Amino acid sequence: MATRVLLFLLTNILVVFTIGIVVRLLGVDAWLTDQGIQYGPLLVMCFVWGMAGSLISLLISRWSAIRAMGVHVIDPQTTNAAERQLLQRVEMLARGANLPMPQVGYFQSDAINAFATGPTKARSLVAVSTGLLRKMDDREGDGVLAHEISHIANGDMVTMTLLQGIVNAFVMFLARVIGFALLRRDSDDSGSIGFQGYALIMVIQTVFMFLGMIPVAAFSRWREFRADAGSARLAGREKMVAALQRLQRDVESLKGHPTPANTRAMMITEAPGLMALWATHPPLEQRIARLQSGT
């Protein structure tokens, strides 16, 4: 649920910073000369490397999710009855959405959690937590699985990648322009801004990256509503409503109790105040109300 977005955003931030360091070390970021900022080359560089960072995050999304979450990918030839049942449920929903069969797996977590990821519809992964398998009945589980299948069918990872790439480009561009303005041309004869200048740019870029997550999070909330509607079409509205209500009860029961560090960031909770701008999921009450009203 929240896992997919958080992993993608974290991977994107790490990749963008790595690219920035590599570009700097290789000396191919020739946007600053004796004549000042070359806005054309700077804009091209930021667009190319910003999109590259987002695309790399997409390409390794399935690989990184499996390793970060410790996902056990189920062998399609498994003889385990529980694993076979999970495969069959996903296969039925994927067929209903006219999708190729994705990889299916599960990971250890007491929280109710699930996610879908992957660079293409043909190279996707649907993974559920052991907590979901234990706490949800088949009806509720089908609602969640259909929700994740809908994310794949909607191409949400690709659209998220394009949006994040544009945000990356603006973040890199504005960080360098503002950083240079603050430095007041504190550079050597070669046009280099030096280590201190580059460190300042990285600080500004970090702040802008955080602010840039606001429109990405807003898009993520919108696509959650769309995936809920897709689940209602695939599995039935009552199943998706039941799944969200069960998740709501689980979240309420965990309030005030300590949660494991590896699952705390993945849980869907209502963000207070301004932090709601960075929430990747709408409040459960809104999602349930929208499904029940049929909007």
The catalytic residue positions are 148
Which residue in the block uniquely carries the two structure tokens 């955080």? 210
Of the candidates 36, 62, 57, 28, the residue with the CA atom closest to the CA atom of residue 168: 57
In contact, 173 and 46? CB cutoff 8 Å: yes
> What is the C-alpha separation between 107 and 163, in angstroms, rounded?
29
In contact, 74 and 86? CB cutoff 8 Å: yes
Question: In sequence order, what are the residues at sequence separation of 6 or more whose Cβ sits closer than 8 angstroms to the Cβ of residue 8?
Answer: 57, 58, 61, 117, 157, 160, 164
Orientation angle between helical segments 138-153 and 237-254, nearest 10 degrees = 110
Burial class (CB in 10 A: 0-12, 13-18, 19+), 257: exposed
Q: Is 281 helix (H, G, I), strand (E, B) or coil?
A: coil
Question: In sequence order, what are the residues at sequence separation of 6 or more whose Cβ sits closer than 8 angstroms to the Cβ of residue 262?
Answer: 109
Which residue in the block uniquely carries the two structure tokens 């999708």? 99
> What is the C-alpha separation between 289 and 286, in angstroms, rounded?
5
Question: In sequence order, what are the residues at sequence separation of 6 or more whose Cβ sits closer than 8 angstroms to the Cβ of residue 140?
Answer: 239, 242, 243, 246
